[in-house]
Structure 1
Amino acid sequence: MIAQSGNWQIEYNAQTSRLSMQHAASGASISGCLAMTVSGADWPVQDSRDGVADRLAIVDGNKNVQGYIVFVGEGSHLEMRVLHRTAQSFAGSLHFMGEASLAGAYPCRTRVPAEIKMVQLSTGPVDSPLNDSLYAPATDRCLRLLTAGPLALARRGDGVCAVDFSLRIEQAGLAAIEFAAENDYYRRRYVPYFAPIDRKRCPSPPTGWMSWNVYFDQAGAKENLEEARVGAEKLKPFGLEFWSIESWQADSDKLPVASFDNLSLKAHATQFPEGMKRLAADIRELGFRPGIWTAPFATGSKAFYEEHQSWFLHNEAGEPIPCWNGKYTLDPTQPEVIEYLREIHRIMAEEWGYEFFKIDGMSGRGRGYCAHMFEHDDVRKAFKDPACPNPFERCAQAFRDGIGPDRVFLACQGHSTGPEAAYADASRIGGDIVHPNKASNWQNILSQASATMNQLFTHGIVFFMDPDTLLVGDYRTLHEAQVTATIVALPGQMMFAGDKLATLTPERMRMLQQALPVCDVMPLDLYPIFDLLPVWDLKVNRPYGQWDVVALFNWSDDEAEICCNFAELGLSAEKSYAVYEFWTQSFCDIYENECSLMVPAHGVRLLAIHEEKNRPQFLSSNRHITQGAVDVLDLHWDSEEGELKGVVRLVGGYPTTLRFLIPEPYSVTDVTAEDGVTTSQHVDSDGVLSVVFRTPQSCDAPFRVHCNW
């Protein structure tokens, strides 16, 4: 059979039972073998015998046609359905085994479950039985395989997955599968200005430090450099990259932001006496890339307003229209205004040397932020060109044109539904983690978690997500600090510290270090989630092994038991799993089916879940929240030598502890590492071996764990 159905080309070879379905516009294809089984007998699938060219015939052992496979195509959608010939009612299964391919795609889930119990993430080429689609971020193309019956996708290579599904002819709800090959998947649904992240300019979520959430309007050059010296010692070795300056403008030493001189490029004379160019150079000398905050849609400077009065918006009474950025708001429909916005950002990038731009006052949640403000009728009437269709996009493009193609642009706040998606690298996803001159509280953390959950499907695809600074000072309980660190680091979001670093205890500083560097994480669930879910599952795949890192969050004010159901994570019900908890550094046990833990109020338990091997195996690392995903570079079991052999990435001057499960009858005889790396170890009564690695210089250290049995 060769047929065209919708935009799909369908070919079937009855001799080989091979079915091929091609969608030329997207490059998607599905091909493999069909097998129909009824009461244990194989019924061949053959070409139609009745002149209906676009269906296949199911033939019984007596060579009678007893059913059909029909294809219903409409545009990019193709339904494949198995059905009885009239008056037949036999039970049977149509099985397909083959491949699906879409260039540059990875397997994911696009069909929203009826009940969302957890969210799944990935680092490395992971597989999950919960996946139902292939998505290509670089081209915004998607191939969806939607069925109520069993479906399995397993990676075979870049953009290629093994596909296995079955259709039940006697159950109408399980008798069909729909293939949908869609161009502009995000653009048409969620992100009208979709553009893939430029990973040459911004290869991973930015990391750094910024002053706002502890200093607010009181951090000058002196305070920033003092903090940077601590950061250079304590955080730069772990991967911290940027040092970003806030509230530097003239008149910026007293809130609100609307009073700041946001447009003149004049630095605050007493807080930044040597100017912003010199500060950028000083930051660079400490080993960081300098960053800067701007709020360029308006100004609080009356002098600047009076000098350029025609640039600004006025209401019908002739009064200046204010916004969050300033008392005087620029008119973005004027070419002179757009050119000025472009030029001041060019100066900060090219002449001053700043490489990271946090541009504020963008989308936000209401009229005070300009994406909203420019949509209001009274404001549009005030434009010099009221018919201008895209005033906010004109600003976003001016910012990118000004800072240039090689600078990192954080849109604050940035909305994936708006034009900043085409120009910015990263998006501040919610409000401040703390209100000015107030201590951060639990409600701020809940807001951070909600924004993360809701926008996680855009992370690494549209923007890198910025959840605001990771604050872990002792104004938080230990449990709350662990929660916010997990929210930031487990999904691989931007990690900007924001505490007064010298005041942190070693335990709290360690939390920041355990969030660096950012792990390369992609969402597997490609849809917005509005519930604050208690279970977040990061699936890890490295060349030497796979495991899950699962956060069990207790968002309530009371201690609670939270269950981690292995089937809901896509893990096998036929296997046992070894579970280690990160924040308490404790071995939980070997579990089947599920693991339930008591989680303190406002707390989290972070589990590494490994399939039990019944031999010595890796459990966890205390180096990073992902428990081995960023620091264990290689690991394998040599059964002949009785050795675990691996390579661990160490930070000079900071010990790293790896933990291994040593089941009976095995026992550890020795642990060795390369010259210059010292080790110490002990085995607990539960069979967990702890190995502490120390080195004066950062290195990738080969090691061996020798065992007897």
Structure 2
Amino acid sequence: MKPLASRRFFFMLIIIVLAGFCSVNAQKKWPYPIPARIGDGTNKDLFVMTLGEVQTPIADGTFDPVKDEIRLKDGRVLSNYYRDSLGVKYYKPIDKTIFPLPPSGLCTWYYYYQDINENEVKWNTDWIAKNLIEYGAKYVQIDDGWQAERANGKHGSRDWTGVDTAFPGGMADLAKYIKSKGLTPGIWIAPHGQSNESVVNRNKGVFILKPDGTSASKTWEGDWLVDGSSAEGNAYMKDLFKMMVDWGYDYFKIDGQPIVPEEYARNKALLKNPGEADEVYRKTLNTIHEAIGPNRYLLGCWGLPVEGAGIMDGTRTGGDVVLGWDGFFTSLGPTMESYYQHNIVWYTDPDVMLLRQPLTLDQARVWATLQGLTGQALMSSDRLMDLSEDRVELMKRVYPAVDIRPLDLFPSQRNKRIWDLKVNHLGREYDVVGLFNFEEGKSESIRLDWKDLGLPEGVPIQVYDFWNHEYMGAWEAGMAIVLPPTSCRVLTLMPNTNDIQLISTSRHITQGWVDLLSINYISDGKQFEGTSHMIGNDPYELAFSYPRGEYYKVQRVKIKDQRKGIRIKIEDHQGWSTVRMESPVSGEVGWEVTFEPADHYKYITRDPGRASAARVGLDGADISWSPQYYLNSGYQVYLDGKLLGYTPETHFPLRNLDPLKTYDVEVKTVWDDGTVSIKPAPTAGAQAAPGLSFSVAAMLPGEFRLTEIGPMVEPRFNFSQTFTFAGKKYTDNIAGWLNTSSEYDLKGLFTHFTAVIGIDDATEGENAGKEVEFIVSGDGKELWRSGSFKKPDTPKNLDINVTGVNILSLKITGPQTRGFGRGGIRAGWAEAKVTR
């Protein structure tokens, strides 16, 4: 076979395999009704999504995407849910006929910025073709920097009529090169803008001009803005995109989009055919879509250009990430706030995934897990050939983005730490749960309650750690895990049965969806048979768990096609086994695994002794005890006689307690079969070791800083900044956007609220003379109001009676919607405290 023909055959094989993934996993033809939650349940930390046809008792009802209607279990019907309740004005269900999955690939921006060049694009393309294309990477998107230089010779103009000298071969040849590697070329553009005056002069009627002929709109988008109301403007846009289509580009990222409707509204009188800004903007999007055709992907960027719903295939939901842990939150925040739109309205894009240093490997794993569990658009933006093997491994386990969509059809205002992906695939129903610690300075203990996840009560749940390739046992009620700073765990959960179960596969974080093509279990023969898609030279692992208290080992593994030369490695452990297969070539592999009884070891565990409690906040406690000297599989914790769950650690978190109630806690050791320790009988004349009794209120200090309690809704920005009022410096402060309340749950435990209010000495210019007003409310009732307050006014000491108040609300009203830290009025509450 000739080299070119061989390469074409290879690429065709990849396309067939990826198409096979889609067809095997096809359940129903979208759009169809799906389960939905419309608000948090008892666990406010829980974030839920689905993959496959999932049914769960934690759903509030069913959403019909065609009718835009939710039918709740209590009989209520919420009509026009996305349009009216969620504010998606132009809602219609995503069209998945052309793009059944979100895009996966590379974006050049967050490594090269505007210093990208032709060779770097080719080298990254070569790397993807060699290392990642079989894992589902498809797109190579060239970002800002390809277009003509500015007049001063710098990169990044808004002139689309030329090409930067860093691309001497031209954009058409580069697109051709990318396609020759079996990948799809993409290109960035801010199409509504232009910075070349000669282009403007040659295109009469295209741009918005003032009566004197000067530009009416100078923004980040460009020094001139296309008049989307005019025929000339739309003809210009059509020609612009036809040019890039002719070059060979099939993916278009259009940037600066929120600016455009804002400018159309501001310059309405100057438009050739004045109309509503949203409609004028959508007219330009329709023009773009007509120019590129239905088979090319259109991504809107940045922020959330919600006006493009129904036209764009995907949308960025936030700002630009930056390298480092702080940059991760630019991806996390929009995921919390806008994920309800994903795979229902369009494919959401929380911006790129970064994995390179200075991110630690733990932090890189957190970022990869965000992408893998949500199924959002998955675009890397590192210099891929420089990534270490460990970081490349993370990429391989989350590529490609798959057909995940939210169960939670509502925005979240907090960074949730428990993410539950519910999967139904080939009759295997399981949960893939991500646990996250976003804190940099401290470890966090997170408790999972099986009931919160909708798992069956009274049944042991088998637990497998995906990233660490380790079975963790089967436990009732729940479990608690300690996470180091800026880290995560991914646990696969399956209810225990009387049968051996395939609990995990190693190819992808969804653990079977991408790779497992068929599976069958013959109970009497203790045998599994299945078919998997394997990638050449990528070890592929099947993890099997045994019914709790029963013990087996792998008797034999049979590969149905011995011609593949597949290497096999079996590892048997007490309670579980793995079969690792490695093939020199990619393709479908049929396998059979047969099991037989195995010996096991059992130890009678001993009681760990007395525990202690340490208060956490106003309604929590961390229970801890000394490590057990003797052997055990972990510990089980009971609250007032009720089992809460298992932990391998020597502490267990209790949250959402009644602070005034006295609780009794007992801790027992446990073996892997579920057998728990029994307290030894006391010797003659001796008393049994006492259990732990405590109340949170008894551990509370007499005074609390509000910053220690923390607001009920986490701020998206850090406002813990220093204040100086009338020359005096304060470091413990509360501030935020004007006209926005900050609420604190006091649980009725305090009698007085004290603080110093003022306007920071740094407030200058016209803002120094503007008025604000401080307002304190309790449980929705106003308790105190400052009246008009200006910078020259003397800072005021407050002492307000809050006896019996549950929700304390602090608000500063003023002339700005969002004024803090942007050269506006810096007003706030210093040394805010509550006392008992």
Shorter-chain TM-score category? 0.7 to 0.9
- Structure 1 residue 352 and structure 2 residue 240: aligned? no
Report the count of equivalent residues: 559
Corresponding residue number in structure 2 for 1:299: 194
Q: CA RMSD in A?
A: 2.4
Confirm whether residue 521 of structure 1 aligns to residue 404 of structure 2.
yes
Number of the residue aligned with 2:378: 495
**2:485 pairs with one of 601, 611, 616:** 601
Question: Is 2:112 aligned against 1:215?
Answer: yes
Change over 3 Å in CA distance of 1:585–1:654 after alignment to 2:
same
The answer to whether structure 1 residue 109 and structure 2 residue 32 are counterparts is no
How do 1:127-526 and structure 2 match up within 5 A? 127-137=55-65, 139-147=66-74, 178-180=75-77, 182=79, 184-189=80-85, 190-246=87-143, 247-251=145-149, 260-264=157-161, 266-268=162-164, 270-308=165-203, 311-314=206-209, 319-320=214-215, 321-349=217-245, 351-363=246-258, 369-376=259-266, 379-389=267-277, 390-413=279-302, 415=304, 417-418=306-307, 420-434=308-322, 440-526=323-409
SS of the residue aligned with 2:130?
A: helix
- Are 2:447 and 1:552 equivalent residues in the alignment? no
TM-fit CA distance, 1:355: 1.0
Superposed CA deviations along residues 444-484 of structure 1, whole A, max 9, x for unmatched, are 11120110121111111101111222111132101110111
Other-structure match for 1:647: 531
1:124 to 44, 52, 65: 52
User: Structure 1 pair 340/625, CA: closer, same or farther in 2 (3 Å)?
Assistant: same
Structure 1, unaligned stretches of length 5 or more? 1-101, 148-177, 364-368, 435-439
Contact 1:221 1:279 survives alignment (8 Å) = yes
- For 2:364, the aligned partner's letter is A
Letter in 1 for 2:297: V
Change (3 A) 1:681 1:688: farther
Q: Is residue 121–residue 523 contact of structure 1 (8 Å, CA) maintained in 2?
A: yes
Distance 1:315 1:442, change over 3 A: farther
Shift of residue 562, structure 1, vs aligned partner: 0.9
Q: Corresponding residue for 1:172? A: none
Q: Judging changes above 3 Å, is the alpha-carbon distance between structure 1 residues 255 and 293 closer, same or farther for their aligned structure 2 residues?
A: farther
Give the direction of change, closer, same or farther, for the CA distance of 1:103–1:651 in structure 2 (3 Å limit): closer
Code of the residue aligned with 2:167 in structure 1: it is: F
Give unmatched runs, 5+ long, in structure 2: 1-29, 598-836
Distance in 1, Cα, partners of 2:37 & 2:91 = 20
Q: Could you say if the C-alpha distance between residues 121 and 256 of structure 1 is closer, same or farther in structure 2, counting changes exceeding 3 Å?
A: farther
CA-to-partner distance for each residue in 1:562-613, whole Å, 9 max, x for gaps? 1111111111111111111122222222221111111111111111011112
Pairwise mapping of residues 38-57 of structure 1 onto structure 2 (< 5 A)? Answer: none
Aligned residue for 1:188, secondary structure, equals helix
Residues 230/276 of structure 1: CA separation in 2 closer, same or farther (3 Å cut): same
Whichever residue aligns with residue 656 of structure 1, its letter is Y
> Cα offset for 1:398?
1.7
Distance across 2 between alignment mates of 1:253 and 1:235 = 39
The letter for the 2-side match of 1:618 is L
Q: Could you tell me how far apart the structure 2 residues matched to 1:673 and 1:522 are?
A: 35
Q: What residue number does 1:91 align with?
A: none
Alignment counterpart, residue 618 of structure 1, candidates 502, 507, 518: 502
How many Å apart are 1:331 and its aligned residue? 2.6
Structure 2 partner of 1:579: 463
Secondary structure of the 1:465 match is strand
Q: State the SS of the aligned residue for 2:452.
A: helix
CA distance in 1, matches of 2:591, 2:211: 75
Corresponding residue SS for 2:300 = strand
Q: TM-score, normalised by structure 2?
A: 0.64
The percent identity for this pair of structures is 29
> Which TM-score applies when normalising by structure 1?
0.75
- Among candidates 545, 553, 566, match of residue 667 of structure 1: 553
Structure 1: distance between partners of 2:117 and 2:46: 43
Question: Per the alignment, in what secondary structure is the counterpart of residue 530 of structure 1?
Answer: coil
Distance 1:114 1:255 in 2: 58
Distance in 2 separating the partners of 1:114 and 1:449: 22
Q: Is the partner of 2:411 in helix, strand or coil?
A: coil
Q: Is 2:514 aligned against 1:630?
A: yes
**Aligned-pair CA distance for 1:236:** 0.4
The structure with more strand, counted as a fraction of residues: 1
The verdict on how the C-alpha distance between 1:427 and 1:541 changes in structure 2, with shifts beyond 3 A counting, is: same
Asked if structure 1 preserves the Cα contact closer than 8 Å seen for 2:432 and 2:491, the reply is yes
Q: Partner residue of 2:575?
A: 687
**What amino acid does structure 1 have at the position aligned with 2:559?**
A
| Cα pair 1:108 1:525 within 8 Å, conserved | yes
Residue 116 of structure 1, CA deviation: 2.9
**Contact 1:217–1:254 (CA<8 Å) still a contact in 2?**
no
Output one character per residue of 1:140-172: Cα deviation in whole Å (capped at 9) or x when no partner.
34241243xxxxxxxxxxxxxxxxxxxxxxxxx
Q: Which amino acid aligns with 2:159?
A: N
Q: Deviations over 1:190-216 (max 9, x none)?
A: 322123222122111011112111011
Corresponding residue of 2:474: 590
How far apart are the structure 1 equivalents of 2:376 and 2:590?
30
Aligned residue type for 2:142 = I
AA aligned opposite 1:195 = K
Give me the whole-angstrom Cα distance separating, in 2, the residues matched to 1:309 and 1:143. 49
Q: Deviations over 1:637-657 (max 9, x none)?
A: 212222122222211121112
User: 1: CA distance between counterparts of 2:493 and 2:394?
Assistant: 21
Distance 1:253 1:616, change over 3 A: farther
1:348 Cα deviation (Å)?
A: 1.4
Q: Counterpart of 1:81? A: none
Give the C-alpha shift of residue 690 in structure 1. Answer: 2.0
1:309 Cα offset (Å): 6.6
Once residues 511 and 201 of structure 1 are traced to their aligned partners in structure 2, the CA distance between those partners, rounded to angstroms, is: 28
> Shift in Å at residue 115 of structure 1?
6.1
Q: 1:612 to 1:253 in 2, by over 3 A?
A: farther
In the alignment, residue 125 of structure 1 is paired with which amino acid?
E
For the 8 Å contact 2:38–2:409, the answer to whether it is kept is yes
Is the CA contact 1:133–1:142 (under 8 Å) kept in the aligned structure 2?
no
Task: Call closer, same or farther: CA 1:388–1:612 in 2, change over 3 Å.
Answer: closer
**Higher deviation after alignment, 247-256 or 293-302:** 247-256
Give the aligned residue type for 2:56.
S
User: What is the rounded CA distance, in whole Å, between the counterparts of 2:575 and 2:39 in structure 1?
Assistant: 42
Alpha carbons 2:148, 2:160 under 8 Å: kept = no
Change over 3 Å in CA distance of 1:346–1:672 after alignment to 2: same
- Tell whether the 8 Å contact from 2:426 to 2:518 is kept in structure 1 after alignment: yes
- Report the 3-state secondary structure (helix = DSSP H, G, I; strand = E; otherwise coil) of the residue aligned with 1:331: coil
CA shift at 1:662, angstroms?
3.9
Contact 1:140–1:187 (Cα < 8 Å) also in 2: no
1:140–1:186 CA contact under 8 A, matched in 2? no
Q: Which deviates more from structure 2 when the two are superposed, residues 453-462 or residues 105-114? A: 105-114
Q: Which amino acid aligns with 2:64?
A: A
Residue by residue over 1:15-60, the C-alpha shift from the partner in whole angstroms, topping out at 9 and shown as x without a partner, is: xxxxxxxxxxxxxxxxxxxxxxxxxxxxxxxxxxxxxxxxxxxxxx
Alpha-carbon separation, structure 2, partners of 1:235 and 1:414: 29
Whether contact under 8 Å (1:133, 1:144) holds in the other structure is yes
User: Equivalent residue for 1:25?
Assistant: none
Residues 197/255 of structure 1: CA separation in 2 closer, same or farther (3 Å cut): farther
- Kept in 1: contact 2:444–2:484 (CA 8 A): yes
1:355-406 CA-to-partner distances (Å, cap 9, x unmatched) read: 111111112xxxxx22333333xx3344344445522222222211211122
Assess, with a 3 A threshold, how the Cα gap between structure 1 residues 671 and 387 changes in structure 2: closer, same or farther.
Answer: closer
Check the 8 A contact 1:107/1:127 in 2, yes or no.
yes
Q: SS at 2:166's partner residue?
A: coil
